[in-house]
Structure 1
């Protein structure tokens, strides 16, 4: 018994006529009648009986028609789902992201654009550092990454989504908040908090290098894993921290202020990353198109903005 036999049978049952069913199926009536006789012989039951000029289903035929319709509906649904997955319209896609990136706006815009483009695809967001994302991409456990660093691996492609300057966040009551200009030497006696080195390895080195270039040694630096805890310590005046300008919106302006540091020339960028060989896979292509839709058109960084993610080799996807 083949699926076409079920389709033929269901059509005959709906039309209650071999002639009309043959016309609907675009087949000859004689082969159709012969195949139904073969089906009855294979099953060992009569499915049809004469009814005037047409036919009607036997009790066994009515039951079989009901079951056959369900089978065909399930097969059609399975085919549609398989096509949807192949076309990137169904299934689940896993995206790795750096936790700090969720506060910057572009990631949420990317997710919204992707959901609009592929509303039937499920999304799973997994917190991973950039380095962990690259490993997960190579292993195929995630389809897309969003983080603060661009890979130098030719197997991975990326797109710069945002760029923002690094400055100082401090309490409104802090003595430095009253200065018209802040320079690195103003921070020598301050307790400086930084986000974890394992999340932003280059950023730590860039800040320390920039300070040393100005003859400044930053003292009392400490790492705080939780961003909310770090911001709380800044707000109460216990410390200061370096933060991207747009990330300062996380703190009410009545509690803290963001200030540029005149001799600190560091930009922070965010990138989406994917396996180069899968750029044409439907779901990855939809993610890339969504990223291009919401990402700003960035000009090359001016000067020498060496930072955790501004200057990179092999930038293969420029806008």
Structure 2
């Protein structure tokens, strides 16, 4: 039994005439009648019986017609779904994102823009570091990444979404808050909190290098993975931390202030990443187009970009 037999049978059942069904199907009546005879022989039941100049369904035929319509509807739905997935209109896409980028930067705008383009595609956001994202992209377990570093692997494409000047985040009651600009040597002896080195290796390395170049040793008392906990400790004046300038817009609402650091030309960038060979796949292409739509302009002189810990040029693979 083939699907075409089911389709022919359903149309014959609707028309109650082999002649009208043949005209509707654009086939000859005789081959159509033979196929229905073959179907009845295969099933071992009579599906039709004569009625005047036409035919009508037997009780078995009526029962079979209901099931045949259901089967054909399921097949059509499966075909439509497969086409939708292939065309990037359906399915689920997995995006890896780096901790700390969820409510700042362009990630939420990217997700919103993608949702407008592909409203029927499901989204799954999975927290992971940039390095973990690159591995997951190569393995095909995620389709897109959003993180603080650009890959050095030509197999991975990337686009810079934001570039932000690095400065100091501190409590408004802190002794340095009265300064319009802070110097690195002002941080000598201060308790400094950072997010874990494994998440931001370049940031740690570049901060320590920049401080040492000015004869300053940063006193990093703890590495805090939870961004909310880190900011809470800063807000109560327990320590200071480094953050991008964009956080200054929300710092005052969270009982904190942001200050630029004189002589520190380091930037924080955020990147989207994808597997280069997937760039023409409909879903990935929609993500890339969404990213280009919402990427944010730099808030400072682009000449500083060469100093960015998140955009250090071509680096060795980790």
Whether the TM-score (by the shorter chain) exceeds 0.5 is: yes
Structure 2 residues without counterparts, runs of 5 or longer: none
Indicate the SS of the match to 1:99: coil
Segments of 5+ residues of structure 1 without an aligned counterpart are 315-319
TM norm structure 1:
0.93
Out of 205-214 and 155-164, give the one that drifted further.
Answer: 205-214
- Judged with a 3 Å threshold, the aligned counterparts in structure 2 of structure 1 residues 300 and 284 are, in CA distance, closer, same or farther, namely farther
Kept in 2, the 8 Å contact 1:101–1:147? The answer is: yes
Mapping of residues 197-216 of structure 1, within 5 Å = 197-216=197-216
**Counterpart for residue 308 of structure 2:** 307
- Provide the aligned length of Structure 1 versus Structure 2: 314
Q: Contact (CA 8 Å) 2:267, 2:304: kept in 1 or not?
A: no
Match of 1:289 in 2: 289
Alignment correspondent of 1:28? 28
Distance (Å, rounded) in 1 between the aligned partners of 2:5 and 2:295: 53
Give CA deviations for 1:176-208 in whole Å, capped at 9, x if unaligned: 111132111111121111111011000011111
Matches within 5 A, 1:6-155: 6-155=6-155
Consecutive aligned runs of 4 or more in structure 1 exceeding 3 Å deviation: 248-254, 296-300
| TM-score for the superposition, normalised by structure 2 | 0.94
Contact 1:16 1:55 in 2 (8 A): yes
- CA apart distance, 1:250: 4.7
Deviations 1:8-30 (A, max 9, x none): 00001111111221122121222
Deviates more, 1:206-215 or 1:145-154: 206-215
Rounded to whole Å, the distance in 2 between the matches of 1:80 and 1:7 is: 17
RMSD across aligned positions (CA): 1.8
Displacement, 1:103? 2.1
Change (3 A) 1:54 1:254: closer
Shift of 1:266: 0.8
Change over 3 Å in CA distance of 1:217–1:252 after alignment to 2? same
Aligned 1:193-272 pairs, distance under 5 A: 193-253=193-253, 255-272=255-272
How far apart, CA to CA, are the structure 2 residues paired with 1:300 and 1:5? 70
SS in 1 for 2:182: coil
Task: Provide the rounded CA distance (Å) in 1 between the counterparts of 2:252 and 2:290.
Answer: 31
Deviation track 1:213-266 (CA, whole Å, cap 9, x = no partner) reads 222222344311211111111111111110011134454446111111121111
Conservation of the 8 A alpha-carbon contact between 1:193 and 1:239: yes
* Structural mapping, 1:267-278, within 5 Å: 267-278=267-278
> What is aligned with 2:178?
178
- Displacement after TM superposition at 1:86 (Å): 1.3
Aligned to 2:279: 279
Shift of 1:115: 1.5
Partner SS for 2:243: strand
Q: How far does the alpha carbon of each residue in 1:13-49 deviate from its partner, in whole angstroms, 9 at most, with x for none?
A: 1111112211221212221112111111221211111
User: How many angstroms does 1:147 deviate by?
Assistant: 0.3
Distance 1:252 1:51, change over 3 A: farther
Of 113-122 and 162-171, more deviation after overlay is shown by 113-122
